Structure formats: structure tokens, C-alpha cells
Amino acid sequence: MELLLITGPAGVGKSTLSWELSAQLAAANVAHAVVESDELDRVFPKPTLDELDRIQPGTVDVSSLNLAAIWSVYRRLGHSRLIMSGVMMHHRHDRRWILAAIPDAQITVVRLRASETVLLERLAQREIGAGAKAQAERSLHQARRMAAEDTDGLIVVPTDGKQPPELAEKVLAGIGWLPAHARQG
């Protein structure tokens, strides 16, 4: 099972890249599924550790349970590739809960980067209202923290000045998910 994990700060283009990767794979007739990790724990109230433990002993994150449930359906449908996106501030920790959900996952992590100016411009296009300033501050904090982390084992992709189709082609070429006849010269 191959899992492509698209990470980066809020506003860097993770969802947009995931959608473009999916479109290019579909055009090449490559079976895959896409999951936005933010949707795996969008619940109120958040379940307690006791509630999670009753469902599956040792579970500490509802995201893992939900990912396992979603992937079990996709696996039964014959899928072996998953694109998943999310901020993933601590990719080593995130690997653990992902592997708890999908133990046989071979995870490739793509970390998207953008300059602070570009991040703020992108966020200004999508964030409105009272939370916009706080989201911009969170995104800058995320970007700075990720820029300071070791990137060994990650594929780092700068996004400034790049369009989603170009980024998707680069990522797909790097991971080898497209058949030879679908790759552009």
C-alpha cells in the first residue's frame, strides 16, 4: 500500500495539489483515493481517551480510527494508493497514527514550502472574517517551525511561482505512480 502524504503549513497549497494529483492520475487511469486529514477529526465534542479506548484499545486519536475505516473500504474496492494531505507539524508522530490505521503503508512525505509573502497572499484569498489574522499567524508559525526541521527522508517542493499542474507532474515523476506512456517527456 503506497501512501503519499502531502504536508506543509496552512495556505501552502496541499489541498490544491492533492486535487491536481488526483486529476492527473485519473487522466492516466491510475486507481487511487484521496483523503483530507483535517476531515478525520472534525467532530464536536472531541471523543475522550476512554471513549476511543473502548472502540479500539490503545487508540489516542480519532483520526486513526476514521482513516482505518475509510481505508478498509477503499482496500476492499481494490485500491493500493492513497493521497492524504494535512498540516502534519510532526511528521514522525503522524506516521505513527497513520501506520496504526494502515500498518502496511509505505509512506512518502512531500513537504510543500512557500515564502511568507506567498503564504499570506494565499491565505488572504481564502480566509475572511475575524479568524483571518489568527490563521495567518498560525500559518507563519507552522512554516517557520517546518523550515527549521530536518528534512531527511522528505521530498521538499517549493511552490512559489509554480502552478498546480507543474507541481503535480514533478511529484508524480518523483514517486513513479504514472505509467511510462502517461509521463510527459
6-47 residue pLDDT tens: 999 999 999 999 999 999 999 999 999 999 999 999 999 999
Nearest-angstrom CA–CA distance, 6 and 172: 12
Q: Please report, for residues 24, 91, 125, the alpha-carbon distance to residue 87 in angstroms, rounded to integers and kept in the order given.
A: 23, 9, 18
What CATH class is the domain 2-182? alpha beta
Q: Whose CA is closest to 122, among 15, 12, 8, 38?
A: 12
Whether the Cβ atoms of residue 40 and residue 100 lie closer than 8 Å to each other: no
Whether the Cβ atoms of residue 127 and residue 136 lie closer than 8 Å to each other: yes
Mean per-residue pLDDT pooled into runs of 10, the chain (185 residues): 96 96 97 95 94 91 95 96 93 89 96 94 83 89 91 93 96 91 60
What radius of gyration, in Å, describes the C-alpha atoms of the chain? 17
